[in-house]
Amino acid sequence: MSKNSNDFDGLLEPVEAIADEQFYHRADEFIALANTLSDSTGDEEFATSASKVSASLMYANARFNIWLTACGYHNAEDLKANKEQVLSYFLEQYKLMLEDNFDEYSNNFDEYMNPPEDEVKHFV
């Protein structure tokens, strides 16, 4: 980060460095909410509904992350001056998480995607 009026340099650390003991618990809470929202659409097919929930979740995450970043600045000029660095951080972190989850799902595909007949397929 450039030396501007930014009090929030600690934000731009790798997620592994700042993940606390509640990290996965919070993630599971968001997953549970996503499943609930995907199930609550009535006539719409689950895959269509889940796709819309995913888009909403990504949008909400982007808004929250930029709000959190902006909280660490004293003025818009300094925030704007660090735009590329902030975007690079979030894009790289998301890419790493997406790759990890891709590998997990591809390695556990049968277990995750073929639940017992008496269970509804959910995001796990």
Candidates 98, 84, 78; CA nearest to 3 is: 78
Nearest-angstrom CA–CA distance, 39 and 22? 26
Whole-prediction pTM value? 0.78
Q: Do the beta carbons of residue 58 and residue 33 sit within 8 Å?
A: no
Rg value, the chain, Cα:
18
Please report, in angstroms and rounded to a whole number, the separation of the first and last CA atoms in the chain: 36
Condensed to tens digits (0 to 9), the pLDDT of residues 70-94 reads: 999 999 999 999 999 999 999 999 9
pLDDT of residue 43: 60
3-class secondary-structure state, position 43:
coil
Q: Do the beta carbons of residue 11 and residue 72 sit within 8 Å?
A: yes
Contacts by residues 47-51 (CB-CB < 8 Å, ≥ 24 positions apart): 50/123
Backbone angles phi, psi at 73, to 5 degrees: -115, 155
pLDDT of residue 48: 85
Amino acid letter, residue 84:
E
Condensed to tens digits (0 to 9), the pLDDT of residues 17-40 reads: 677 888 889 999 999 999 888 886
Q: What is the mean pLDDT of the chain?
A: 84
Residue 10 has pLDDT above 70, yes or no: no
Dihedral in degrees, nearest 10, Cα atoms 47, 50, 56, 60: -140
